[in-house]
A and B are shown apart, each in its own frame.
Chain A
Amino acid sequence: MKQPPESNVHLVDHGFMEARAKLLDIAAFLDRLERHDQADDYRVRAFFEGLNLLDEPGADRAAKVLLALSDPSEEPIAEAHTKGAAGAFSPEVET
């Protein structure tokens, strides 16, 4: 059962400044990569795919971005050679 809050909070007042700061951090991150000629990376390409999803309506942007960054395969891999995860998927890159 969905569980809305009992009192209405103005969510723009509540969260805008924090989200604004994060937006500027993203902009500066991408500027930084471009200045240092490091934007040609599968993770950055996946990042832009995620950014493009933010302009779509539907109140399910977070799930869509997560899906875009996920390994779409279904079978177990043969062997794990690392422990970490990279945050984006590429069939050519073992993370």
Chain B
Amino acid sequence: MVSRTTDDYQRMALAGCVAINEPAFWAGYDRSNEQGFYDYFSLLTGFEPQRAATFGIKHFSWMCINPKEAEDVGLADAVLALIPEFLQKPTVLGIGEIGLNKNSRNELVVLEKHIQLAADHDQLILVHTPHLEDKLKGTRLIVDALKNHSAIRPERVIIDHVEEHTVRVVKDAGMWAGMTLYPESKLTANRAIDIIEMYGTENIWMNSACDWGISDPLAVPKAALEMRRRGHSETQVHKVFYENPAAFMGQCPKFVL
């Protein structure tokens, strides 16, 4: 977890986390050239798995140029050319988190290039949807782009950051739905559990936001506790927090716990 201290790995291990799934994302600033991405991908596939392993946690990652840096198509092309080398790494599960941020034309072009890369290399896809007022429009554009590619199988795609107004769009497309938990600004544990109660436990997971804003690496175990407090059985909790992520990521043979 690039944005996190080693103490967070220790806390996650104490809370029972067995694996971390880290998508390539924004560094807090726009990188000036593709070499910055090469170094970042090297960190994701080298140092971070070692740091997690000291606490008995498996670390997996996903490769892409994040939508926040996708306005520059020339830079995106240079970064996309680096990615196949890293897809060979033993802890890389696929392409992600790709998607849209402000729903611009160039972001969409870069998204389509990532989708083609995933198709060319038969990779799983992890998608980021825009936040707040941009989410509904962006989710629809992303789902359309994925459905428009004949080689993309929806069961090999997870669309993250779903909320009450977008979860149906994703589920109806046959894709997995991810719910990223935030302490205050976006989806909370209680709302995510509401969505589970309304839409069921199939093909859905929760994950902790661990970015540059206020976020909590323990959001997932805290949500599991809240699900128990709301009367859900251990079987249901285990399915949402362990079996479902393992089932989706297990479609990549490199995902072994």
The answer to whether A and B belong to the same complex is yes
What is the minimal beta-carbon distance from A1 to any residue of chain B, in angstroms? 4
Which residues between 30 and 85 of chain B lie within 8 Å of chain A, taking CB atoms?
68, 71
**Consensus secondary structure, chain B interface:** helix
- Do the beta carbons of A76 and B141 come within 8 Å of each other? yes
If A80-B101, A80-B102, A83-B102 touch, whether A69 touches B231 (CB-CB below 8 Å) is: no
B131 neighbours in A (Cβ, 8 Å): 85
Interface size class of B (residues with CB under 8 A): 35 or more
B190 neighbours in A (Cβ, 8 Å): 15
If A2-B200, A3-B201, A63-B165 touch, whether A76 touches B133 (CB-CB below 8 Å) is: no
- Do the beta carbons of A4 and B197 come within 8 Å of each other? yes
Asked if B97 CB lies within 8 Å of chain A CBs, one says: no
Asked if B160 CB lies within 8 Å of chain A CBs, one says: no
What is the minimal beta-carbon distance from B44 to any residue of chain A, in angstroms? 21
Q: A1-B202, A83-B102 are in contact. List 14 more A-B contacts (CB 8 A).
A: A2-B199, A3-B197, A5-B232, A9-B229, A60-B164, A69-B132, A74-B137, A74-B140, A76-B107, A78-B105, A79-B104, A85-B132, A85-B134, A86-B132
Chain B interface residues (CB < 8 Å from chain A): 26, 68, 71, 101-108, 130-137, 140-141, 163-165, 190-191, 194, 196-202, 229-233, 236
